Amino acid sequence: MSTEGALSRSRLLPSLLGILLLLMGLALLAGGVKLSTLGGSWYYLLAGIGLALTGVLLIMARRAALGLYALVLFASTVWALWEVGLDWWQLVPRLAMLFALGIVMLLPWFRRPLLSADAPATGTRALGAAVVIAGVAALASQFTNPGEIKGQLDRDSVPGMTNTAPAMPDGDWNSYGRSAHGDRYSPLAQITPENVSKLVPAWTYRTGDLPGPNDPGETTAENTPLKVNGMLYVCTPHSQVIALEPETGKEIWRFDPKLSTQKAENFKGWAHMTCRGVTYHDDAAYASAEQSPTGTASTTPASTSCPRRIFLPTADTRLIALNADTGKMCEDFGDKGQVDLTANIGGFTAGGYYSTSPPAVTQNLVVIGGHVTDNVSTDEPSGVIRAYDVHTGKLVWNWDSGKPDDTTPIAEGQTYTRNSPNMWSMFSVDEKLGMLYLPMGNQTPDQFGGNRTPESEKYAAGLTALDIATGKVRWYFQFTHHDLWDMDVGGQPTLMDLKTADGVKPAVLASTKQGSIYVLDRSNGQPIVPIKEIPVPQGAVEGDHTSPTQPMSDLNFVPPVLQERDMWGVTPFDQMLCRIDFKSLRYDGMFTPPSLQGSIVYPGNFGVFDWGGISVDPVRQIAFVNPSYMAFKSKLVPAAEVAGGPGRKSETEGVQPNKGAPYGVILEALLSPMGLPCQAPAWGYVAAVDLTNNKTLWKHKNGTVRDSSPVPIPLSMGVPSLGGPFTTASGLAFLSGTLDQYLRAYDVKNGKQLWEGRLPAGAQTTPMTYTGKDGKQYVLVVAGGHGSLGTKQGDYVIAYKLPD
């Protein structure tokens, strides 16, 4: 073998790396020029020049390549620390690749062809120093926790404070939020912080309700089952109800409503197939008018054939009453057991109106709202709230925000106000005060409000309290003025008695997408925690306007304003592209108006808090919450261009037509080309708030990317969650809604994760707990996946308990 041939082969690897660095440099240079012209960082342009020149020198086998690369790596480290400090996940895209290449270039077999035996090693030493500095920065960042708050609750109770939710057996869970107060708090204490690590699966049941090839829309499992009447009641995405034995998961009965789906092929792209829950009513709980909290006797006698009822909202627009003992339809309710919710609604696209959430029940009434598909047109069904006699199904009152003062049942042949704000989430009920609490959505379309009526502006995106008996408005409070960002109030309002400096007050806590938790006196709607009107960005499109201010609660998890340096990626390249996207869009902070240019919506319309709501411990006077942070972007499209666009694929894909408005809209998450969020992690947390002073006790990132990254590594980055938590008297909290497939338990005093159970599918649901006849406490979760989030789908109901 000739010396010349050996040298040629030894220089192959430096040459290959040189070509790679040249290409990398040219890519960064091109993107850097674009970014700098948008007013962004000059780093990528300069780094691109440095890498490209290093590549050329390597191809030429010049030892100067090492010194130049040392300069690039050192400058990059200084720049990275200046921008983000010792934040590991922020340093990864800035330094990880450069650091690894620096290690390769220090290897003797790599640099030997570049240096003669007596050549000075200045470049080598410089590169070694740069690698060490970058490595020390990376190592030091392992000991920091940006965004986290460490703390400890030092009490097990607040003197005099008790659980004032409606009474029920400790081991039951008889409403979506356990009680009609929506507190998601269980007095059970058999499973404790000391023994929760021993939880094991007790049983698994499969419903058989799986997405099919001809399924309309997206199938999403969001159900929280009930445990009452000695049974578990589960509802599936296709509106089936299954009664199970709580101790074994054995099926007792099943009801299939045989959905018509109103021409299923028309659902695609417009609707979700989901059932968040069913509702239970027991005549025995209201034995007399004297026992009724509202003091009003039932207008109809108690049923002898169906004294205990399950109320089921279906995806094909029915409200069905079932005998809770047998699963048979209650023939005395409505038309042989069902009420047609299309009555007086008017026309709509298949899937454009139905109820995804359980109705509320009171002594006499079952009350239901409805989901109206966003951004289809300006002529959609009404968001009317309707109250039916709990026994006969006769319409007792209707509250239409388009005609808020007239709650008399609508006359035959008339139609409720089209396109009025709807309530698609869960009610809360205080029968002692005689009020229903409605978390309100807004008038579609979401991103253009130039044609909204005064009535819709008044009641949208806030909390409305209705009188149970009449449906009349008792009070209302708006949380987003002239909402142009889809900031519906998604979470069920939480009712509790709250200890304040002015004494104990009946409170309602409303968690919202923008991150504020509004705390009001539920008797009159007056703020308990201060709410300030803050100035917000202006400049709506032609034909629209913005509110000059927006209300923000002093109790909030509102994230800081995004900066260019917050843009993220796995590599410098997708981070650079995210920066270009960021600088190309309009963003003036929270409530940046929608625009033709495209605007960033942060927090996004999945919200800091969505329909999962929050949990409160009324004895400890704390709230356990799971805030998420995901930026979205919206771009208005002139109506004349909508027809030629890609068309609507779902509520977050394609052009939303907004027929009848001057603009359609494109809505999508702010993602990198690799499909990861453009903003830096963490994207999801668990936290606790001391409600006696409204301070955050602790806040920790939560969840891993195991099930949402190309390589299934359980990196603890903190991921978004959809679904709510519950807490127990023993000091535990449980949450399953993260993008990774786990049910987790936490110590409410400090947020420490104490246990996790691996699930066979996504569980974007709210778990629950109960006691069986065997005296054991169980924790139960539905794991069925979520179509919009792309988590693994399934049909699992899984219960856990302590070992015998």
Among the listed residues 87, 486, 544, 747, the single catalytic one is 486
Q: In a 10 Å sphere around its CB, with 0-12 CB exposed, 13-18 middle and 19+ buried, how is residue 213 labelled?
A: exposed
Cβ-defined contacts of 67-72 (< 8 Å, 24+): 67/122, 67/123, 67/126, 67/127, 69/21, 69/101, 69/102, 69/105, 69/127, 69/130, 70/102, 70/123, 70/126, 70/127, 70/129, 70/130, 71/126, 71/130, 72/47, 72/98
Angle at 362 between CA 358 and CA 363, to 5 degrees: 140
Check if 486 is active-site: yes
* 233/241 Cα distance (integer angstroms): 7
Supply angle C-alpha 19, 21, 23, rounded to 5: 70
* Sequence-ordered list of residues with C-beta below 8 angstroms from that of 355, at least 6 positions apart, any chain: 313, 314, 317, 319, 341, 368, 369, 370, 371, 424
CB proximity list for 94: less than 8 A, separation 6 or greater: 76, 79, 80, 83, 84, 572, 575
Tokens of 280: 């239970």
Cα–Cα distance, 123 to 111 (Å, whole number): 10
CA–CA separation, 288 and 285 (whole Å): 9
Rounded distance, CA 712 to CA 345, Å? Answer: 47
> Do 770 and 230 contact (CB within 8 A), yes or no?
no
Contact between 199 and 788 under an 8 Å Cβ cutoff? The reply is no
- Cα distance between residue 352 and residue 703, in whole Å: 34
Q: Is the dihedral of CA 564, 567, 570, 575 positive or negative?
A: negative
Report how far residue 452's alpha carbon sits from residue 458's, in angstroms, rounded to the nearest whole number: 10
What's the gap between Cα 346 and its chain centre?
31
Alpha-carbon gap, residue 671 to 679, rounded angstroms: 8
* Residue 615, C-beta contacts closer than 8 angstroms, at least 6 positions apart: 183, 184, 185, 494, 623, 624, 625, 724, 725, 726, 727, 733
- Separation between Cα atoms, residue 716 and residue 701, nearest integer Å: 8
- Annotated catalytic residues are 486
